[in-house]
Amino acid sequence: MNRSIVELIFELKFTCMSKEESIREELNLSPSEYRGLLSINPGEVASCMQMSNTMGLSKSRGSRVIDKLIASGYLKEAKNDGDQRIFNVKLSPKGLIAIKKINSVMSDCENAILKNIPSGELKTFTKTLRKISEIISP
């Protein structure tokens, strides 16, 4: 049976989402908290506004997500020397461990793909994925 391009994309999406859901459950994170954790890089200090923008959330919704990540120990407050009114955060040691775990799962998935696609086809495959993403993204 030939499946349509959209069916294949949805199958790929479902597979990726189930891996993401598994790691989220292991870390006890909601989808928003997971996105929040991924919106800040190790060693980076970010404001609530910056993280909210990266997450694609309003400042108030982003602030609630950040508060939950602080309460669960994934983020910690980072003082802003220039302006005490600005609330900055950075990854805590627990957050750094979580990011390493997430990156490890992503790396394992990527390595499985790379191992099974001949190197001569990889450039075309990547280009096709980018093109599909551009076509279906708003």
Render pLDDT for 61-113 as a digit per residue (tens, 0 to 9). 999 999 999 999 999 988 766 666 667 899 999 999 999 999 998 898 888 88
Reported pTM:
0.80
Token output for 120: 């001569």
Which of these, 48, 112, 43, lies nearest to 86 by C-alpha position?
Answer: 48
Reduce the DSSP state of residue 138 to 3 states and report it: coil
Contact 112, 120 (CB under 8 A): no
Domain 5-136 belongs in CATH node 1.10.10.10: yes
What pLDDT, on a 0 to 100 scale, did the predictor assign at position 65? 94
Which residues are registered as beta bridge partners of 46? 89
CA distance 84 to 129: 44
Contact 42, 99 (CB under 8 A): yes
pLDDT band at 9 (very low <50, low <70, confident <90, very high): confident
Give CA separation, 32 vs 51, 55, 110, 126, in Å: 11, 8, 23, 28
CA distance 39 to 101: 15
pLDDT band at 136 (very low <50, low <70, confident <90, very high): confident
Give CA separation, 100 vs 72, 96, 137, in Å: 17, 6, 28
Per DSSP, 74 falls in state S
